[in-house]
Amino acid sequence: MAGNIVLRLENVARAYKEADRELVILKDAGFTLRRGEMVALVAPSGAGKSTLLHTAGLLERPDSGDVILDGRSCKDLSDEDRTAIRRNDIGFVYQFHHLLPEFSALENVMMPQMIRGLDRKVAAERAQMLLDYMKIGKRASHRPAELSGGEQQRVAIARAVANAPLVLLADEPTGNLDPTTSTYVFGALEALVRQSGLSALIATHNHDLARRMDRVVTLRDGKVVDL
């Protein structure tokens, strides 16, 4: 059911030069993400989780192979077109929130919408709605330094989905939080993904959180395999 697949990696290879040798990270890797599916990516540090996410999210070009987003091949796209796809169709959440410190929580969530060209009032209304959904609406006027780690990450999640992307890619989104806060933040993320119909690929070391997703994959010998 090709129409049900929102993200597909086909024979993706990625290697880096390290001193006098080549370090192979991905080798003929294939992966599919279906609409509304939530997939956990669990693998040891250094196995290539971030490389896979960066390649899937068009932050890095594969050495060979293709990334197909919603049926569109990205192999030969210009940097400008790749940037537009990242802005409009892909949401990113990282272990560290990367919020802009000089702006409030509301303004941080407004920012990607305004870059896309939305009216400031419309962007503010959607930003407030998302912050309310993440149960942090009352902190909308606070700057990141005035928020707890869990609150900052919830703002980052709201920002990632502000433009209603097709795909959410998250790299250890709760890895910098204590266990209680991690569980709470992941619960908010999971609810948002489930209720919005987003497709999500989430790298995590937390096996308890991984088991809550639809399926779990890992990286083995440069390939993506199901667990």
Q: Which of 32, 37, 42 is closest to 11 using CA atoms?
A: 32
| 205 pLDDT tier (thresholds 50, 70, 90) | confident
Write out pLDDT tens, residues 157-187. Answer: 999 999 999 999 999 888 878 888 888 888 8
214 CB-near residues (< 8 Å, 6+ apart): 37, 38, 39
Q: Please return the burial class of 12, using the count of CB atoms within 10 Å of its CB with bins 0-12, 13-18 and 19+.
A: buried
pTM of the entire predicted model: 0.90
Residue percentage of the chain with pLDDT more than 90: 67
pLDDT over 50 (residue 216)? yes
Write out pLDDT tens, residues 67-103. Answer: 999 999 999 999 999 999 998 899 999 877 789 999 9
pLDDT over 90 (residue 130)? yes
How many Å is the Cα radius of gyration of the chain? 17
What was the pLDDT predicted at 1? 45
What was the pLDDT predicted at 3? 65
CA dist., res. 109 & res. 74, Å (int): 27
Arithmetic mean of pLDDT, 34-51: 90
195: phi then psi, degrees, rounded to nearest 5: -80, -20
Alpha-helical regions (H) of the chain:
49-56, 79-89, 105-116, 120-133, 149-160, 179-196, 207-210
